[in-house]
Amino acid sequence: MIFEDDLQRLFAGEVEERTARLLAGAETLASGPLGEEDLRTMVREGHTLKGTARMMGFIAISDAGKALEEAWRGVASGEVTPDEELASALGLLASQMVPAVRADPASGTPGLATGMRTLRRALRGEEEPAPIEPRLLRPQGDLDGLLGAIDSWAFGETVRVNAAGLFRLINEICSLRVDSEALAHAVGGLARAKLDAAAMAEELEALAALVGNADKALLDLQARAVDLAAAPLSEIAASFPQLVRYVSRRAGKEVRFEMLGVDHAIDRQVLERLSDPLRHLVVNAVQHGIESPEERQASGKPRTGTLLVCAEVREQRLEIVVDDDGRGIDWAAVRHTALRRGLISTSAAADPDVLRSLLFSPNFSTAEPSAMISDGHGLAMVAAAVEALQGTVVLDTRPGEGTRITITVPTSRALQDAVLVAAAGQTWGIPAIAVLDRLPLAAAGLRPVAGRLEMTWGGSSIPVMSLAEAVGLRDTREPGRVVVVSTSLGPTGFLVDEELGRRQVAARELGPILEGVPHLTGAAMLGGGDVVVLVDPNRLTATARARRDTGPRRRVLVIDDSRGARQVVGGALGSAGFEVDLAASPTEALSVLAEQTFDAIVMDYVLPTMDGATLAAKVRQLGVKVPIVMLSGAATAEDQSRALAAGADAYLDKDDLRQGALAAEITKLIAAA
């Protein structure tokens, strides 16, 4: 987890101070009873540690604080009879909280878990288990740490489980549902065609109805499965009121805090990504935005500032607004800092969009360093997290009146709304949240300007580029549509062959062997074997612009009989900087190789009519000497040896765990050729 360094230092100091008092109380209890006021202090220290630790995300320390609070409350009420063993257990647990600040926030340390178990035994009056004879001990690895983590989990207020299996189940259900949708569409088409006779049409209509009912059932199952992985926004926002009190007290501010709409259920994966960015925005609003009581009073404002966090869900989109009534952004200070550091030119200093983008860049801050101000990574972290969710961040500030930051992200990572387009013979998905407009090519009014295409949209001139070329694929067909998308560099038009409509897709991450291409975010099954490769418009635009000056690209031929595999492998290699052609069979590949030249060949081992080893041998018989990389998820060691003996230069298993291994291997082989 990512924490504000300054807050974490303050938290560590607070843990040290409060546990010192808890240790002193435990030592006093060992020699005699404590007074009522001292007992109330011990209960209060445990309670405060519980709440502050949970606010900061240190669940294990929070659970330990809860255990101490309840134990001391039992002593204070007379329900628990204190003795030397209980006092020792209270002291042991308190002593383990400081080391836990530097450990995993969720599980703490083995010592903390041991302290929890010891206190529980003392409260139950159980004796310490007799030590096991050394001769009976067997190597247990980190068993003590594991059992400690389980104890800590079981003693806590929340249940945390590994969600990997759950999300795999969701993806499978989502894929099954889109398969059913494709089947229903095909059967419905046959029914409407009324092929041979009325009886046949009637049967097909009945079948279509059955498939439609099954699709509805699957849709319901999908919704239920997705709900299992959802949690209310309050799960990450519940600590915000205490966080505001914590920060405002140290900053000398008076803040009235409100939250609205935090009961909306959101995908847990989305919540985890938003937790730290939202925490930062709340801290930033209190520290930077809202003025001191004296400053507010001098400017005619109430001494107490107002901070609002409001959430709303519309059409599978979560919109969160963080709004304060503080001083607003000092654009003059932003401009001065940017000019002083050479980040902008004098001519750009008056452009509000340029200045606005600087606020979300790393290490940019106009504030003087202090114990409560971080190093300037905060807003950059917010932008990066939202971008990873395919969302947007909008900043609106009013000098002297306040600042509003609006985050919009999809409500689910398992399911995404995407606008599907065709380019270079493949299907691509653009996040619907980023699509601003779609229009026919004839209505776009394209024009060449300084070596690139532009069009007028929204009253301004925007760049236009081929989607196929942007991802590195060769497309011989004329484009038919322009899709305008929102990017960090401003609106950009992408030329596509056709638009295939808007669909909800079940997204899956690319395997490690294909990773390392930042503007490909994953792939999704559409049903019927079709695959859509999902793109990040922000990174795709930046990569395409940077690629214009790199000169000719290396050509790679990808051979695979699976259309989905061709799409994913071709898309990944094209986006990695290669120019890619695709072949669906050995016959097609040999025909292409007889007429064209390539810098490398990638082929699946399992192919129709012949295996990869046989095809590699035939390629070499044609006199083709370029590197051949063999891919397979099923070939044996013997198959691999045959492929290498037949002329392949490298063999990669499709389950290869090396990140970006395929592109790296091709680059290495071409350089060595």
Give residue-wise pLDDT tens across range 104-158: 887 788 888 888 888 888 887 755 444 433 333 333 322 222 122 323 323 333 4
Inter-axis angle of helices 268-284 and 378-388, nearest 10: 160
3-state secondary structure of 466: strand
Name the residue with higher pLDDT: 539 or 35.
35
Q: Over the chain, what is the mean pLDDT?
A: 78
Least confident range from 116-130, 154-168, 255-269: namely 154-168
Residue 15 has pLDDT above 80, yes or no: yes
Cα separation, 177 vs 172, in Å, equals 9
From the list 556, 612, 610, the residue with the least C-alpha distance to 582 is 556
**Are the CB atoms for 60 and 112 separated by under 8 Å?**
yes
Q: 556: which strand partners?
A: 580, 600
Cα separation, 652 vs 631, in Å, equals 5
The predicted pLDDT at position 338 comes to 77
Q: Count other C-beta atoms under 10 Å from residue 13's C-beta.
A: 11
Highest mean predicted confidence (pLDDT) among 46-50, 194-198, 378-382: 46-50
**Are the CB atoms for 381 and 280 separated by under 8 Å?**
yes
Least confident range from 510-519, 565-574, 654-663: namely 510-519
The share of the chain scoring above pLDDT 90, in percent, equals 21
Cα separation, 59 vs 431, in Å, equals 35
Tokens representing 181?
């949708």
CA angle 536, 541, 542 (to 5 degrees): 105
Question: What is the pTM for the complete model shown?
Answer: 0.54
Least confident range from 75-89, 319-333, 518-532: namely 518-532
Name the residue with higher pLDDT: 598 or 103.
598
| Helix, strand and coil percent figures for the chain, each rounded to 5 | 50, 20, 30
Phi first, then psi, for residue 629 (nearest 5°) are -110, 125
CB neighbour burial string for 80-110, b if at least 16 within 10 angstroms, e if fewer: bebeebbbbbbbbbbbbbeebbebebebbbb
Least confident range from 30-39, 199-208, 284-293, 333-342: namely 199-208
Q: What is the per-residue pLDDT across 389-405, written as a single tens digit (0 to 9) for each?
A: 777 788 888 888 999 99
**Helix or strand (DSSP H, E) at 589:** helix 586-595
Distance of CA 313 to the CA centre of its chain: 19
The share of the chain scoring above pLDDT 70, in percent, equals 74
Cα separation, 380 vs 418, in Å, equals 26
Residues 6+ apart with CB under 8 A from 11: 52, 53, 56, 58, 101
The predicted pLDDT at position 627 comes to 94
The predicted pLDDT at position 298 comes to 93
3-state secondary structure of 127: coil
The predicted pLDDT at position 337 comes to 78
- The number of helices, as runs of H, and strands, as runs of E, in the chain is 23, 23
Q: What is the per-residue pLDDT across 523-580, written as a single tens digit (0 to 9) for each?
A: 776 765 567 788 888 777 776 665 554 557 789 999 988 776 777 788 778 777 788 8
Residue 363 has pLDDT above 70, yes or no: no
The predicted pLDDT at position 181 comes to 67
Cα separation, 570 vs 559, in Å, equals 9
From the list 280, 282, 281, 67, the residue with the least C-alpha distance to 154 is 67
DSSP secondary-structure letter at 64? H
Cα separation, 378 vs 622, in Å, equals 58
